[in-house]
Amino acid sequence: MSMEEGKQYAYRYPRPALTVDCIVFGLDDEDILKVLLIQRQLPPYKDQWALPGGFVQMDESLEEAARRELQEETGLQDVFLEQLYTFGEPGRDPRDRIVSVAYYALINLTEYNLQAATDARDAAWFPINQLPPLAFDHPQIFERAIARLQGKVRYEPIGFELLPTKFTLTQIQKLYETILGHELDKRNFRKKLLKMDLLIPLDETQQGVAHRAARLYQFDAQKYQQHKKQGFNFEL
Amino acid sequence: MSMEEGKQYAYRYPRPALTVDCIVFGLDDEDILKVLLIQRQLPPYKDQWALPGGFVQMDESLEEAARRELQEETGLQDVFLEQLYTFGEPGRDPRDRIVSVAYYALINLTEYNLQAATDARDAAWFPINQLPPLAFDHPQIFERAIARLQGKVRYEPIGFELLPTKFTLTQIQKLYETILGHELDKRNFRKKLLKMDLLIPLDETQQGVAHRAARLYQFDAQKYQQHKKQGFNFEL
DNA sequence: TCAAAAGTGTTGACGGTACACCCATGT
DNA sequence: ACATGGGTGTACCGTCAACACTTTTGA
């Protein structure tokens, strides 16, 4: 069918509803990787947990819709947000034909005020390996998000989006171990990471630990952009 | 906005139309990488070239819609098909709000009868670096498809989907050179590829060439699946 | 002084890259 | 015999993986 015929078809026939769903990853104070879920208050799947999401409005782009949802749920703006995949099996919502464009977001929970999200009686953060049963096809969406995250942290420095601006090398190593699901060699990891020349060592150490305090670092996003233009490839 | 509120919203307010667009890559007799385009017969963008596509029906999944379109345009079934990205800027179609889920397909043009596609007065294959001006935001869709292809051929053996079942090593090298946009060293390329043990060398050579005939090989998809399960990673 | 994590180098194996010539075939 | 691509091996270098002990700090 050509687009022209299709256009007329579109007038005559019903259209699927279009939503966005967000998989919001956050790293908490204890360096645990968590996902934001909403407890449903109405059927179907009443009282079950689900990904935050909502309908796309006629005058906003898909990404704008996702950012709006995110803003409404967490109060956060300017976070890392990327389209993940579009889910459209006819039976995925029992009420109606609903196609959902999934986005995933990376935020760091330590530095911002997320009371709005965490205080809300119907929203909560769950460790990624202790999720409750999820509504709809949200388990599949979550699986795909994890897979994307695992793939992408290896060749793009998106892990830093989850960390506070100042972090220790151990923090980022633990984060990578959590995301990738296996342990990494400390010396090799540090060597590789530091050699990339993307971290600014600070004259500051972590505070309040009962052992030698680790040096803090900052990710140099500007330098990364420069290097990238010159063909440099981040890889861990 | 929660899903529940959204549901009611969905009843009261208009929905975007939902289409699929297909970027169909094919390798022709002369090992040129081409894309299938359709010439539009109605405004907007009348007489311009566009990606094949059409509206998603209420009872079919997104991938089913893409396969149906593909079947209608090329007559082909069981081809490699993967979701690429969903495009939903409000202004991308001047007539109406249309959100399009893009898929890309890989087919080999040498072995199948594509008269249906090529004979059609309004469909034609264009070399990927000699495209005519495209309608709508199709240039962006195409760009993203190329980028995906470039990324994916490096770590998944999808290049073979474009080749005939029997091919020479030079053929696949040229294909990689075309997709990646730079030349590769012949000896190193062969060494790496053959070491993976995924190619079955045949007792057959190419025919009708005015020089020494090259050996033909076949991709061993079954062996690839086995290796993959055991943690093997294709990489070129 | 103990516990707990920070920090630091070397070696051997492997894989990547660069590179040039002879061979087989058809015209 | 010539033109055209087919086919092959080696040497160097950089990167990765494995591995253990000393240092600092707070309790």
> How many degrees, rounded to 5, is the angle at CA B231 between CA A180 and CA A127?
25
Structure tokens at A136: 């709809």
Distance CA A102, CA A20 (A): 6
State the nearest residue by CA to the C1' of C24.
Answer: B212
A24-73: pLDDT as tens digits: 999 998 999 999 999 999 989 999 999 999 999 999 999 999 999 999 88
pLDDT at position A10 is 46
- Strand C-proximal residues of B, range 181-220, CB below 7 A, are 185-188, 191-192, 209-213
- Give the closest nucleotide to B184 (alpha carbon vs C1'): C17
pLDDT at position B8 is 44
pLDDT at position B146 is 98
- Confirm if B162 and B108 have CB atoms less than 8 A apart: yes
CA of A219 to C1' of C6 (A): 20
CA distances from A2 to B71, B86, B111 (A): 13, 19, 26
Residue B212 beta carbon within 7 A of nucleic strand D: yes
Structure tokens at A150: 């695992």
Task: Taking residues B159-182, report their average pLDDT.
Answer: 97
pLDDT at position B113 is 62
pLDDT at position B115 is 56
Which residues have a Cβ under 8 Å from the Cβ of A23 and sit 6 or more positions away? Answer: A35, A51, A84, A102, A103, A104, A105, A141, A142, A145
Q: So where are chain B's domains?
A: 14-153, 158-229
Structure tokens at A3: 């687009």
Protein contacts on strand D: list nucleotides below 7 Å from a Cβ.
Answer: 3-10, 16-20, 23-27
State the nearest residue by CA to the C1' of D4.
Answer: B211
Residue with tokens 């090529």: B118
> In chain A, what residues touch B19 (CB-CB under 8 Å)?
3, 6
Residue A184 beta carbon within 7 A of nucleic strand C: no
Gyration radius of chain B's alpha carbons: 20
Model-level pTM?
0.93
Contact check, Cβ <8 Å, B15/A19: no
Residue A47 beta carbon within 7 A of nucleic strand D: no
B21: β partners: B53, B102
Sign of the alpha-carbon torsion through A128, A129, A132, A135? positive
A115-145: pLDDT as tens digits: 555 556 688 999 999 999 999 999 999 999 9
| HEC readout, B135-184 | CCCHHHHHHHHHHHHHHHHCCCCHHHHCCCCCECHHHHHHHHHHHHCCCC
At residue B213, does pLDDT exceed 80?
Answer: yes
- Confirm if A33 and A178 have CB atoms less than 8 A apart: yes
A81-128: pLDDT as tens digits: 999 999 999 999 999 999 999 999 999 988 776 655 555 668 899 999
Please identify, in words, the CATH class of the domain defined by B158-229. Answer: mainly alpha
The 8-class DSSP code of residue B56 comes to P
pLDDT at position A12 is 61
Task: Taking residues B193-203, report their average pLDDT.
Answer: 97
- Strand D-proximal residues of B, range 150-179, CB below 7 A, are 168-170
Task: Taking residues B11-39, report their average pLDDT.
Answer: 92
- Confirm if B87 and B4 have CB atoms less than 8 A apart: no
pLDDT at position A2 is 42
Contact check, Cβ <8 Å, B54/A85: no
Q: Count CB neighbours of A1 within 10 A.
A: 17
Please give the CATH architecture assigned to the domain spanning A3-153. Alpha-Beta Complex (3.90)
pLDDT at position A110 is 85
Domain B14-153 has CATH 3.90.79.10: yes
pLDDT bin (cut points 50, 70, 90) of residue B29 is: confident
pLDDT bin (cut points 50, 70, 90) of residue B12 is: low
